[in-house]
Every structure is written in C-alpha cells, then in structure tokens.
C-alpha cells in the first residue's frame, strides 16, 4: 500500500467519525491516528546517517477503559545508503497493546506499550531485509476533548532475525469515538435521619368518689363499698397517687356537731380504703367540712340527703 493511500484511508476515517453524533472514550472506543516517527537504525545496516522517517497510521480498539489493542502501518522515507546515497524504501506493520493511566476524558493520559511488528526494508545491494521485531514503548497522550488527542512517544525495537536493537521517537494526532460513556459517579445519598419520636403529652385520668350517709350516721353503707373499691384499685394501679377524703353534712344540728360528724364520716371511708383495700395510710388524708360546703338545697329532704356525703378525687398522669 502506498503512503498516500494509507494516509488517505486514515484521514478519511477520522473525518467521517468526527461527524458522529455520539462519541466517547472508554471501553469499546476506537481510535484512529496518523503519525510521524523518527527512525534510528542500527549502525551495522550501512546507512548514511543511520536515520530516517516512518509515516503512517494506526487503528486501535479499547478492550477496557485502559487497555487498547492497536494495528499500525507505516512507510520508511529519507533513508540513504553510505556508498551510493540511494534512497531506501520500506514498510513496517505492528500489533501493539497499550495500557493507559488515568481516567478516560479530556486531559493527559500516559501509557506504556508492548507488541510485535514486521519490518521489510530495502538494501544497498538490492533485495529487501525482513525481520520480526519485539516492541516496547512509552509515551503521553493529551486529549483536547473526549475525542481529539495528540501523542508523543518512544519505542524500542529488537530485531529477532538480525539480533540488533533500534528505536523510534514520534508524534501523532488522532480521534477517539464509539465507546460507552462512563457512568457518572453518583454520590451516595445522605442517610435520612429517622424522625425523633414525638412524645404524646401525658393524659390525666381521674376517679371520683361520692359516698352517701343516712341522717346523723357515719357508718359506710354496704352499697358504697363497690365505689370505694374502685378508688382503691385505681390508687394501687398508680402508686404515686394520693388523695384527701372530704366529709360533709346537711344543715340540721349545730355547726360544732356537724363538724365532728363530717370528720367521722371522712375517717370511716379512709379506714375502708386503708384497712380493707390495702391503700397505704400515708397516701390517704381525711378532712371534715361540716355543713359549710353544700351542693344541694338544705331546705328540702332530697337536698339534705345529697349533702350528707363523703367525696374523694384521684388524678394520675398516663403516658400514651
């Protein structure tokens, strides 16, 4: 293949791919490059200045985001013999693996390379010299965008058939296209703190006691024991509670008599709470108010019956 045909194919590929709507680096990407290398030959070849140029192109495929397999072809120029100053022609083809450092994307990506090649080059005496080469190299690629880059590198060449070593230094420009866009790095979402438990305000529960008495009596009637027991059970359920048992009378009799009667009635109910239903004595107080706090009309028999009473009340705070 002539040099102009080689370069034409590579340049045509670069122009065609640059018009693609979706281009990206990374695994599955393809790179096309044209290059110009300075060739430094072994001194035993008998060239005039032991130097020449290699112009060509390459096509590479990224097996991973970092590993590329590249196939290249180039033609030698400006190599002249010492005796006749004859311009020597030749070709070089190679298969090379490149490992890139850094992340795909715009910026600098150093690389190292290794591969095998085949060189065929003319001789002063006629005919052509053929040799298989081992290739080791290193260089830098600078990606101006995700898709366009420039490269500079150095390759060491070992000619297996000749048993000598040569090297090349060169530059190239190329395009990269067709790879999968790297997945964007998504920051882990901030953990959502669990809401602080909302404490329900405590609820107040209340038990009331209203024990009625016969006229001029302080004996607790049998029918009132169930209500007193309910109060005792509540207080035993909530041992932090206390209560005051309040005794009252109607208006019949003197104030002093009614005061004493109200106290006896309050003590009678307290005794039932403490002695029969087990409420701690220190949690129950008793007080008498005589006839001073009527809740009904003392002018009627029905009202006086309502006023002959003992009252008690207990409250407790209950968490929901």
3-177 and 203-318: identical CATH topology: no
Residue closest to 111 by CA, chosen among 160, 70, 158, 73: 70
Maximum Cα interatomic distance, the chain, rounded to a whole number of Å: 157
pLDDT of residue 44: 66
Q: Taking the alpha carbons of 302, 307, 309, 311 in that order, is the dihedral positive or negative?
A: positive
Q: What is the overall mean pLDDT for the chain?
A: 85
By the 10 Å C-beta count (0-12 exposed, 13-18 middle, 19+ buried), 133 is classed as buried
CATH fold of 3-177, please?
A: Porin (2.40.160)
The CATH code of domain 203-318 reads 3.30.1330.60
> Per-residue pLDDT tens for 106-164?
999 999 999 999 988 877 666 778 899 999 999 999 999 888 999 999 999 998 988 88
Length of the chain, in residues: 320
**End-to-end distance of the chain based on CA atoms, in angstroms?**
91
SS3 state of residue 210: strand
Q: To the nearest whole percent, how much of the chain has pLDDT over 90?
A: 56
166, two tokens = 């040569």
Q: What whole-number distance in Å separates Cα of residue 124 and Cα of residue 46? A: 8
H-run or E-run covering 307: helix 301-307
Residue 66 token pair: 């970092």
Q: Return the pLDDT at 191.
A: 85
Q: What is the rounded CA–CA span in Å between residue 138 and residue 32? A: 18
Q: What pLDDT was estimated at residue 125?
A: 66
**Could you tell me the residue ranges of all domains in the chain?**
3-177, 203-318
* 14-28 pLDDT per residue, tens: 444 444 444 467 888
- Cα gap 87→76, rounded to integer Å: 10
pTM of the model as a whole: 0.51
Q: In order along the chain (320 residues), what is the average pLDDT of each group of 10 residues?
A: 46 44 70 92 68 90 92 87 72 94 90 94 74 94 91 92 88 85 70 80 81 94 92 91 93 94 95 93 94 94 94 81
Q: Residue 114: what pLDDT?
A: 95
């Amino acid at each position: 293949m002539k040099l102009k045909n080689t370069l034409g194919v590579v340049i045509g590929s670069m122009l065609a791919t640059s018009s693609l709507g979706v281009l990206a680096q990374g695994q599955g990407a393809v790179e096309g490059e044209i290059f110009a290398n300075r060739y430094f030959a072994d001194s035993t070849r008998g060239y005039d200045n032991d130097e020449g140029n290699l112009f060509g192109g390459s096509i590479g495929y990224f097996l991973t985001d970092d590993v590329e397999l590249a196939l290249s072809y180039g033609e030698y120029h400006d190599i002249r013999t010492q005796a006749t100053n004859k311009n020597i022609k030749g070709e070089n083809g190679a298969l090379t693996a490149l490992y890139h450092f850094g992340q795909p994307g715009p910026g600098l990506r150093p690389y190292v390379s290794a591969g095998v090649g085949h060189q065929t080059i003319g001789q002063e005496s006629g005919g052509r010299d053929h040799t298989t080469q081992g290739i080791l190299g290193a260089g830098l690629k600078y990606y101006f965008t995700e898709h366009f880059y420039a490269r500079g590198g150095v390759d060491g060449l070992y000619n297996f058939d000749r048993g000598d070593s040569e090297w090349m230094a060169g530059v190239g420009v190329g395009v990269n296209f067709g790879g999968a866009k790297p997945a964007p790095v998504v920051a882990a979402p901030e953990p959502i703190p669990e809401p602080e438990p909302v404490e329900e305000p405590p609820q107040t529960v209340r038990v009331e006691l209203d024990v009625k008495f016969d006229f001029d009596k302080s004996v607790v009637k049998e029918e009132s024991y169930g209500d007193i027991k309910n109060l005792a059970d509540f207080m035993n359920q909530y041992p932090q509670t206390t209560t005051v048992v309040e005794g009252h009378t109607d208006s019949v009799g003197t104030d002093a008599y009614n005061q004493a009667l109200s106290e006896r009635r309050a003590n009678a109910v307290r005794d039932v709470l403490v002695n029969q239903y087990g409420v701690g004595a220190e949690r129950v107080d008793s007080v008498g108010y005589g006839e001073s706090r009527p809740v009904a009309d003392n002018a009627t028999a029905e009202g006086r019956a309502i006023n002959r009473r003992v009252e008690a009340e207990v409250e407790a705070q209950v968490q929901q």
